[in-house]
Structure 1
Amino acid sequence: MSDLGPLSFYLGIEVHQDDSGITLRQTTYDKRVIELGGLTDCNPTLTPMEERLKLSHDSMAEEVDATQYRRLVGSLRYLAHMRLDLAFFVSNVSRFMQRPMTEHKQAIKRIVHYIEGTLDYGLHYSRCPGVAHFIGYSDSNHAGDIDTSKSTRGMLFFLGNCLVSWQSVK
């Protein structure tokens, strides 16, 4: 066994450690997802999805290549483990992997455009001096899915200022 020094890279996650705390990012993987989507040097957007966009299984749009769609969604799902800002939107487009349509592919492209503008986003765990408070938040939309009338709920838990757990469930 040998000491290789402080952790700097693990399973595609870049680890930056300093006196303020630990920062986890996936900048290199972000760039690979953008290349996979064929959107290198695209214009960034401020939001990962259009406001009030409702995607449906009953779309009459043209079908797209399901293999490419699934590859992009799978890459985004791995990325969403570190990027809480993407979790809900990636979950939303994951529902259409069986028969993806043009509007579903457009939603994925919008997410990739958002990633282009947020390459430096990640999780920062600061050193919490003293007593840290445990705080939780939750929210839901009632019958928000237009296909099934099911609700989506989400939860966040913080220990001090550090996000330690989150979940979004349909």
Structure 2
Amino acid sequence: MRAFGYRQSNSDHTLFLKKQHGKITTLIVYVDDMVVTGNDPEKRKALQNYLCKEFEMKDLGSLKYFLGIEVSRSSEGIFLSQRKYALDLLQETGMSGCQPVNTPIEEGLKLCVEPNQVSTDKGRYQRLVGRLMYLAHTRPDLAYALSVVSQYMHNPGEQHMNAVMRILRYLKNAPGKGILFAKNVDHQSIEVYIDAHWAGAVDDRRSTSGYFTFVGGNLVTWKSKKQNVVARSSAEAEFRGMTLGLCEALWLRLLLQDLGYLSRQSIRLFCDNKAACDIAHNPVHHDRTKHVEVDRFFIKEKLDDKIVELPKIRSEDQLADILTKAVSSQVFSKFLDKLGMCDIYAPT
């Protein structure tokens, strides 16, 4: 690709770009699968011809299926899902006729390793969780549930297997649920919703962080992750979560710059913890925050440089809540709508 005049992106080494006269052509590659796109048809065709001379290749036309992800287009935008994969998984596990549920994890459920727990088939548990993890590419609604069950791969019990079975029952409810990327030319900023559930893990009292990142009002990345250390306060847990989400947003900003989009707008970081936001703005040293000084100064530096801003948000509007704990079906459904998740295959 470099020999043909393309530049390898520093933000994503699988992305190659060529810009000329205000037009751009890009290629992204995963092993032997490639996607070519851009706003210059001649350059796209030249790239395809060049690659066909170098390798044996087959042009599959417009993007419809890539690495198990189904791509559909309409006047509203682009829809990504993994419906076929989900249906195949339900068929293979014998769960095609199961009773569906509205949430992937039961509200208030606290999983842990019990001293005298009844063990389950470890190999089957690991295979099921591994298969479900592949669905996480287009299913942010599964992120928290999968982050919980994946913590018990080494020593699963019956309660953990029941939790995995519930995820499959949730899949049965809406196997075709996916993300809609709507056309939105008026709104092009980067927004991050970050949250942390302080000391939520029963086993070790570690906190769980979660973030959703949006570009132009469309959800692009997300993560639910248990923190590596025990936080001594909710503000400390939020700080660690803010840093995680901000790093992701900064990476997205660089990636957009590679693609030719230079945003002048600040990254909007939505955090509902008032103490964490106040400390981020306040340069005064506190004994209570000296163990998170690096995170605090990292965020403060970005605030001073106007790279990021911390607008106020109510707790009931914090979308990342569903990445840090199990919530009711009503809250879960409301937030999924706000994330742009829908099921185009559902009967109307």
Considering the TM-score relative to the shorter chain, is it more than 0.5? yes
Output the CA distance in 2 between the equivalents of 1:103 and 1:36.
22
- Could you state the TM-score of these two structures normalised by the residue count of structure 1? 0.94
1:80 counterpart SS class: helix
Q: In structure 2, what is the equivalent of residue 20 of structure 1?
A: 76
Cα distance in 1 for residues equivalent to 2:128 and 2:160: 12
In structure 1, C-alpha distance between the alignment counterparts of 2:147 and 2:202, rounded to whole Å: 15
Unaligned segments of structure 2, at least 5 residues:
1-51, 53-57, 227-348
User: Contact conserved, 1:139 with 1:155, CA < 8 A, in 2?
Assistant: yes
1:59–1:101 contact (8 Å) kept in structure 2: no
Which piece of structure 1 moves more, 157-166 or 137-146? 157-166
Cα RMSD of the aligned pairs, angstroms, is: 1.4
Amino acid of the residue matched to residue 223 of structure 2? Q
Distance of 1:118 and 1:21 partners within structure 2: 20
- Residue in structure 2 matched with residue 159 of structure 1 by the alignment: 215
Rounded Cα–Cα distance in structure 1 between residues aligned with 2:109 and 2:125: 19
Letter in 1 for 2:169: H
Q: Select the structure with the greater relative contact order (CA < 8 A; seq sep ≥ 6).
A: 1
**C-alpha separation in 2, matches of 1:4 and 1:109:** 36
Instruction: Identify the residue that residue 5 of structure 1 maps to in structure 2.
Output: 61
The residue type equivalent to 1:47 in the other structure is T
Partner of 2:110: 54
Partner of 1:67: 123
- Aligned residue number for residue 86 of structure 1: 142
Superposition deviation, residue 77 in structure 1 = 0.7
Unaligned regions of 5+ residues in structure 1, if any? none
- In 2, Cα distance between the equivalents of 1:3 and 1:26? 22
Paired residue for 1:148, among 189, 204, 223? 204
Q: 2: distance between equivalents of 1:92 and 1:124? A: 26
Answer 1 or 2: which has greater helix percent: 2
Which structure: larger Rg?
A: 2
SS in 1 for 2:137: coil
- Equivalent residue number for residue 99 of structure 1: 155
Normalised TM-score (structure 2): 0.47
For 1:18 and 1:63, locate their aligned partners in 2 and report how far apart those are by CA, in whole Å. 48
Q: Is the 8 A contact 1:140 1:153 kept in 2?
A: yes
**Does the CA contact (< 8 Å) of 1:81 and 1:87 recur in 2?**
no
Runs of 4+ with >2 A deviation: 1-5, 35-38, 58-61
